């Protein structure tokens, strides 16, 4: 079948919206008709050429939601008509990581996934007889895509799919970092550095976990206002004295939990330094630039602070994303406030430009 898609042809250049061929799903694969797709910073990061693992040509996009249109042989997890959220982090349910409660880092299809192919080592997209590779196993900047069934989360049909899209990456990443990676304790103090979608997700996750005090730090007053909307009890414009201020607000000790959601290594260092002596946990969610390193004074660790990373918020996609969507439907998460713009696929490059200007929270492409 022919579908319109946004193709990365050359790094550092605008995406080309064009018609490509999409082959039928093979064994264990599913054809999804996309209804909506979030425009995430990871897509921009790869398009810019900054990602050392990037490749072209490929169909970008990974934050999608849609309806199952067809399934290949041996598919048992979803059926035509199911509403699904795409998962760049699959969950096979069987590998050594999936059977452990300690991680969501499924190993089942990792090798080909990183090369831009489906598990059998081939692509379903093509153009003039030449393959066009997949992105993060998803490629949701397209009217339809083919994916492994283990990379789809079946969600309630009552949930509007435009609102489901952010759960495919940014929103789940932030919420999960608080609920599943850090496992925020009720009554605790949390500090979130950066109030884009991921940081706001961390604010929401800390609230859902029962944190008593949630401090949001950002350079933008508008984003700090959004943080207050979603549960921050305190907000502060980022400054050189942020760490000292956090310590002064916590009896000199620091926060029980800190979350870094900017990808800036200097801010990561602040998150470590602002974590509480004795038991503070600093969770790194943001993606740093190629070759950058985080400097940590060993004494900060010797005195009890811990530093951890979080991939997709520790969320086991097929098992836990549907529950997060249900919490939205129950009124616990204000997704409508997070989707700040809706555009057509042809406006994907303008959405990238708005992201670089830090306008809005999440732009969603609607098909």
C-alpha span between 238 and 16 (Å, rounded) = 37
What's the pLDDT score for residue 53?
83
Calpha distance 279→301 (Å, rounded): 10
Q: Which residues are paired to 213 by β-bridges?
A: 189
**How confident is the model at residue 213, as a pLDDT?**
98
Predicted confidence at residue 288, as pLDDT, reads 87
Residue with the two structure tokens 């499924």 = 106
* pLDDT score recorded for residue 211: 98
Q: Answer for the pair 354, 360: CB distance below 8 angstroms, yes or no.
A: yes
> Residue ranges of the alpha helices (H) in 144-260?
161-164, 170-176, 197-209, 221-230, 242-249
Residue 161 CA to residue 117 CA, distance in Å, equals 26
Angle at 271 (CA atoms; ends 213, 234), nearest 5 degrees: 25
Residues of the chain scoring pLDDT < 70 = none
φ/ψ of 29, rounded to 5, equals -115, 160
Q: What is the C-alpha to C-alpha distance for residues 310 and 13, in angstroms, rounded to an integer?
A: 30
Q: Which pLDDT score is estimated for 49?
A: 85
State the pLDDT at residue 52.
80
SS3 content of the chain, % helix, strand, coil (to 5): 30, 25, 45
Say what the pTM is. 0.96
366, with CB counted inside 10 A (0-12, 13-18, 19+), is middle
Residues comprising the chain, all counted = 367
Provide the pLDDT for residue 50: 81
Task: Say what the pLDDT of residue 284 is.
Answer: 98
Where in the sequence numbering do the catalytic residues fall?
40-42, 62-63, 92, 95, 98, 106, 110, 169, 362
Tokens of 346: 């042809």
Q: What is the pLDDT of residue 17?
A: 97
Query: Residue 236 and residue 221: Cα distance in Å, rounded?
Result: 9
């Amino acid at each position: 079948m022919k579908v319109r898609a946004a193709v990365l042809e050359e790094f550092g250049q605008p995406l080309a919206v064009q018609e490509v061929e999409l082959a039928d799903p093979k064994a264990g694969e599913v054809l999804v008709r996309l209804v909506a797709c979030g425009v995430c910073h990871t897509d921009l990061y790869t398009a810019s050429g900054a990602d050392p693992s990037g490749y072209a040509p490929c169909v970008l996009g990974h934050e999608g939601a849609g309806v199952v249109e067809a399934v290949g042989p041996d598919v048992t997890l979803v059926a035509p008509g199911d509403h699904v959220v795409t998962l760049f982090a699959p969950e096979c349910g069987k590998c050594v990581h999936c059977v452990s409660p300690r991680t969501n880092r499924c190993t089942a299809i990792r090798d080909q996934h990183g090369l831009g192919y489906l598990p059998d080592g081939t692509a379903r997209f093509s153009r003039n007889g030449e393959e066009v590779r997949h992105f993060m196993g998803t490629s949701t900047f397209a009217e339809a895509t083919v994916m492994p069934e283990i990379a789809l989360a079946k969600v309630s049909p009552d949930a509007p799919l435009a609102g489901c899209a952010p759960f495919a990456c940014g929103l789940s990443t932030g919420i999960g970092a608080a609920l599943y990676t850090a496992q925020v304790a009720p009554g605790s103090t949390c500090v979130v550095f950066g109030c884009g979608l991921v940081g706001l997700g961390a604010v929401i996750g800390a609230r859902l976990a029962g944190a008593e005090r949630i401090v949001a730090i950002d350079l933008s007053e508008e984003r700090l206002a959004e943080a207050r909307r979603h549960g921050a009890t305190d907000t502060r414009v980022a400054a050189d004295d942020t760490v000292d201020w956090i310590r002064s607000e916590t009896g000199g000790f620091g926060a029980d939990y800190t979350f870094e959601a900017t990808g800036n290594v200097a801010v990561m260092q602040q998150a470590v330094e602002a974590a509480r002596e004795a038991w503070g946990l600093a969770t790194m969610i943001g993606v740093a630039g190629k070759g950058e390193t985080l400097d940590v004074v060993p004494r900060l660790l010797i005195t009890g602070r811990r530093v951890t990373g979080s991939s997709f918020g520790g969320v086991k996609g097929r098992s836990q994303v549907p529950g997060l969507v249900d919490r939205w439907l129950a009124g616990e998460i204000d997704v409508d406030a997070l989707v700040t713009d809706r555009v057509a696929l042809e406006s994907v490059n303008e959405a990238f430009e708005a992201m670089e200007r830090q306008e809005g929270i999440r732009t969603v492409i609607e098909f």
